[in-house]
Structure 1
Amino acid sequence: MKLYLQQLFFLCQKELIALVKDPRLKFMLVVPPILQGFLFGYAANYNLEEVPYAVVDESHGALARDLVAHIDAAPAFSRVVTLTSPTEVADWIDSGDILLAVVIPQDFDELIERGGQAPVQVIADGRNSSIAGLATGYVSQIVSAWNAQRMDGSGIAIEARTWYDPNQETQWNFVPSLMAMISFTQVMLLAGMSIAKEREQGTFDQLLVTPLHPSQILIGKAVPPVLVGLFQAVAIFCIARFWFQIPCAGSLMAIVWTLIFFMVSSTGLGLSISAISENMQQVLIYVLVLMIPMALLSGMATPVANMPQVLQAFTYIDPMRFAIDAVRRIYLEGATLFEVRWDFLPMFLIGAVTIPAAGWLFRHRTN
């Protein structure tokens, strides 16, 4: 056992040195996680910061002007143009200059003064349905607040509270999830490339004639990518915590142990890719083919509950789904490892299938 561990240590050391000294891999280890951390933090933003809009005021009454003033006062809204007819709205929306138009009818003031309901039409650009929905929702909130103020605050007042993300910032949802996604990508990519690279360079046959057991080669090829993935996850954590100022409610060690378990359980996928690939180009193709659907099914961008039942069933074989759920709960909720224990069971089962499969493929391809 001592000799086995000693040989395994030297093989892991050799793999780490090869990773660090390769200029291409060195760039891939450092730049992508930092770049993606900032890109997801700034670019992947579902918060609506700017709403250019137009006003069509056919009433010209005092109440109509007061309502428009409330919309203008909203931080996200900026009036681009004041139109005279609803027929002019189409050209402005088609050109992309405005996101929506607020149309106030001629009898607006008269209807309200008589105690009736005055319709206000909101015409939104539906080419991006999520943004259009947010914008019209903002207008509805402003109109509701205006109604409440006009009625001296009588009636129902809604006081909303959002747990774990008080300001509903998209960054709080995306950036912590990157810790799982980036580490998974690195395990898949580096584990696959390590053997494919040796095949291309002609050193894989030399590795096979060494007094190393196939299990040592598998473990030695798996440990460095796990360490690299863990390093990159910590870099993403630092970006989330110190740059974007997203408070971590849970334990850093709980996140680390979750990621280690996740990467070990999913190592079999990367090793299986390495066993069936003849060169690094094939590894890249296999990783891309797997990563896109796995990322979509992970629930990182859209809730799993919103997916069709068939796709929800496929998410159970996606280890990234359970890792992202566990990391989010630990980071944002402050959950303990015991509280996210049910996320570990699917990851364990996936690892129990993929790691032996990778070992079988490795022995099959080397015999």
Structure 2
Amino acid sequence: MPLRHFVGSPWIAVIYGFDLPAYPTLGSKIHLSAPLAGYHRMQRILYLIQKEFRQVFRDRAMLVIMFFAPVVQMLVIGSAITTDVKNVTCILYDADNSTASRELCRRFAHNPYFNVIGYAESPGGIRHALDNWQAQLGIFIETDFGRNLERGLRPNVQIIADGLDANTAGIALGYAQGILTSYAQEFSQPQPGRLPVLSETRMWYNLNLESKHYMIPGLIGLLITLVTMFLTSMGLVREKEIGTLEQLMVTPIRSVELIIGKVLPFLLIGLVEINVMLAVAFIFFKLQLAGNYFLLLGVSLLYFMTSLGLGIFISTLADTQQQAMFISWFFMIFLLLMSGFLTPIANMPENWQQATYLNPMRYYINLLREIFLKATPLKFLWNEIIPLALFGLLIITASALKFKKRVS
């Protein structure tokens, strides 16, 4: 295929496997009309895109990074990282040994969140089980439990938790308190002249409080960032390593055309990636997209400006693909920790909460969760979309200018 308007030296096309007829050199003065110049510019960009796709699909390592690795990472991380607390090992000591206390023990034993390993013979048995990591939770039912329950008095039950894992201990205590409260309400007697207060709890958007509904949209944002940023930075740096970037820059190709030709393929690959990850979420994790599919793709395109722009910026700092990978991970750690993916932003110190507003990934993950889980309409998402678009425009413009200055 002739690339008459692609490059200025016939031997450059040989590197990419094209047949290139002779073309005037850079020193030649060529005057083209505006429509013809625009046509030639578009043709050069299309040839660059075609060349980039050929290079990507010839590189087996790149194909693994693009398609195989994200699927495996999503399956492994999505299954392994969970905040769900189940099968908490528990030991019981029933000092009352009444019908009511035995019923309470039975409820703990049949609850899916607890795994009762046995019954202690004395209060010291609870201490021994916790000290030797045999149990994470101890339930001490004191004497007169059943009698106090029948009289409407407060029954005494002591819950002892292993606080080494604060997250598990806190959630397990909440589960235990729920069992005790529910059981006590069944025995409580309403006072004369007063109606009992009944509370009904409903969970919206995540009926069973499964952490995968919260984690998977964030994981999609994380992996999309990794793939697009890594591919863009390593693709441009690879051109430096093999020397073709300098060769391209002595041809009629402009810096803007080169950037567009290098970025557009990875943008299209990013769109394919997000659809692959959505398929994994639907098939393997049994999630459903509550919101608008095209709105999700639209905000993803806005975010690609940020991730691809960061990839261009990293390519101006690195001279080898190894350097590009290390620099990418440097940026990735801060983007990840300050995005709210692993820990809620509300739990961070106030100063760091303010700093998260400078992280584009924060807005993207919030948008993914709002669209994925709550089907939030567009009119309520502008406070997330506008900052995301501004960050994307700023980052990709600054990165393109720095790249142009570097290659010049």
Alignment gaps of 5+ in structure 1: none
Q: Distance in 2 between the 1:159 and 1:114 partners?
A: 25
Instruction: State the AA in 2 paired with 1:71.
Output: F
Instruction: State the AA in 2 paired with 1:322.
Output: Y
1:305 maps to 2:346: yes
Q: CA deviation at 1:65?
A: 1.2
1:233 maps to 2:274: yes
From 91, 99, 102, the counterpart of 1:65? 102
Q: CA deviation at 1:152?
A: 6.6
Q: 1:157 to 1:74 in 2, by over 3 A?
A: farther
Q: CA deviation at 1:186?
A: 1.4
Cross-structure match for 1:181: 222
Q: Distance in 2 between the 1:91 and 1:189 partners?
A: 51
Q: CA deviation at 1:244?
A: 1.9
From 209, 216, 224, the counterpart of 2:265? 224
* Matched-pair contact (CA < 8 Å) for 2:149–2:184: no
Cross-structure match for 1:138: 175
Q: Distance in 2 between the 1:227 and 1:97 partners?
A: 52
* Matched-pair contact (CA < 8 Å) for 1:230–1:256: yes
Q: CA deviation at 1:177?
A: 2.4
Q: CA deviation at 1:61?
A: 2.3
From 325, 350, 369, the counterpart of 1:328? 369
Q: Distance in 2 between the 1:142 and 1:242 partners?
A: 34
Instruction: State the AA in 2 paired with 1:116.
Output: L
Q: Distance in 2 between the 1:268 and 1:212 partners?
A: 20
Q: CA deviation at 1:113?
A: 4.5
Q: 1:215 to 1:10 in 2, by over 3 A?
A: same
Q: Distance in 1 between the 2:45 and 2:115 partners?
A: 63
TM-score by length of 1: 0.94
Cross-structure match for 1:274: 315
CA root-mean-square deviation: 1.9
- For residues 151-203 of structure 1, the C-alpha deviation after alignment (integer angstroms, 9 at most, x for no partner) is 37983332111111111111111112233222111121111101211222222
* Matched-pair contact (CA < 8 Å) for 2:152–2:187: no
* Matched-pair contact (CA < 8 Å) for 2:259–2:400: yes
Cross-structure match for 2:160: 123
- For residues 199-238 of structure 1, the C-alpha deviation after alignment (integer angstroms, 9 at most, x for no partner) is 2222222222222100111122222222222212111111
Alignment gaps of 5+ in structure 2: 1-37
Q: CA deviation at 1:271?
A: 0.5
* Matched-pair contact (CA < 8 Å) for 1:51–1:76: yes
Q: Distance in 1 between the 2:42 and 2:169 partners?
A: 59
Cross-structure match for 2:236: 195
* Matched-pair contact (CA < 8 Å) for 1:266–1:350: no
Q: Map 1:80-159; keep pairs closer than 5 Å.
A: 80-151=117-188, 155-159=196-200
From 360, 363, 367, the counterpart of 2:401? 360
Structure 1 consecutive aligned stretches of length 4 or more whose deviation exceeds 4 Å: none
Q: CA deviation at 1:27?
A: 0.9
Q: Distance in 1 between the 2:154 and 2:189 partners?
A: 17
Among the aligned pairs, what percent are the same residue?
29
Larger mean Cα displacement after TM superposition, 52-61 or 138-147: 52-61
Q: Secondary structure at the match of 1:266?
A: helix
* Matched-pair contact (CA < 8 Å) for 2:91–2:139: yes
Instruction: State the AA in 1 paired with 2:212.
Output: Q
Q: Distance in 1 between the 2:99 and 2:285 partners?
A: 44
